[in-house]
Structure 1
Amino acid sequence: MKRWRWLKYVHWFGYLTSAVVILQLLFLGYIGAAEWMKREARRAETSMQKGPVTERLSNLYGGTTQIALLNQLPPLTAIAPDGLRFVAIPSFGDTYFAVSLRRTSAGGEGMVAMRPRSDSDQYKSFKINLSSTRYTKLTSELDALASSWNGESGWWTDGTAVAFERVKDGDVTSGHGNSPLFYDKIGILIFNAIRPSTPQLARFNSDWHPKGTFSAPSDNGS
């Protein structure tokens, strides 16, 4: 009789151990699912989506600065049916930038707005013009990059924060982030396209940081 009573306790211990293991597995599964959902949310947030970027920026830390820069540019309706708006905030830079371009019969025309990092009210703006060949090359390369970009699940703590809006055939797509896999490339393409005709950018690298910073090697924008 004592033997059977002892076996009963062994069975109970086995049941308890199994229950603990099941609870641990459920907890690990919950943690894994929660992390996967966070990563997918980050991927969606950094992807190109339909519509203007301002609504997403309004919920982002530091997004008000990017919105203020976008507000220095012509509205999206003014650059339709083919154009772009772009903001660059280099994390180690002394200047913030906003760029707009639209297609014209002669090529591309637009403007650049710049302000010191330390003064949110001191804007300087100037017009820019691109040849038809240069504008078409730029937008074709931007569209090719955007078509293959599905966002990124990781976060980057520095670099150049970018907001990008593309108007094509009257439709608006947009995105924001600082991933070197996409947003850095967007920024470099735009910088290199407008730099040859924009002497005000002569002291900056293609990542929009001043020359002499460690962020990127100097280039001639060709």
Structure 2
Amino acid sequence: MTAAIQFYTNPMSRGQIIRWMLEELGQPYETHLLDYAGSMKSPDYLALNPMGKVPAIVHDGKVVTECAAICVYLAACFPEASLDPRPEERADYYRWLFFAAGPVEAAVTNQAAGFTVSEERARMFGYGTYDLAMQTLESAVTGRDYVCGPRFTAADVYVGSQIDWGLQFGTMPDRPAFRAYAERLRARPAYQRAKDIDNALIAQMKSAAEKQS
């Protein structure tokens, strides 16, 4: 019997990306819920991830952190899920997955924090400017169903989560290409299962907090 993947998360975190990836994978996994003020900073968890952040997984005795890395790792470890790229898809798969993990993540975070890159300093930043990063990301999902073309891959879990959240929270512009892409992803059964699980956990956490207050 295959050992369950150990999944460390908080439903109000980027752990939602990995929940979705695990649901797409169809492999057994065990969820370990951590809270920000306590267990996420505990010695036991810091031994797994010294950053004290979620998500993280443990598989075959190995720890993997960082959402993009976890998605790539799981897709490679479980090829039967067909989430890994085919040879002709590898260029787009790696290009856009890591573009989203690097320049897009930095651009969106800085923009949300109120930091704007001046024109004369743009070349110092990997994303150049927020507008350039959004324009480039838009090109990845324009004229195709998924990042690699007609087929859904693990890259869509990560890139799609970035766009899905960006539209939901207003940290990305509401452009037709982004909206159409997000709607395709939201229709996936694994996406819906993952959201149902995390939304139920969030509701339980809020209810417990209200009872304590």
TM-score category, normalised to shorter length: under 0.3
Q: Quick check: which one's strand share is greater?
A: 1
Higher CA-based Rg: 1
TM-score (norm 2): 0.26
Q: Quick check: which one's helix share is greater?
A: 2
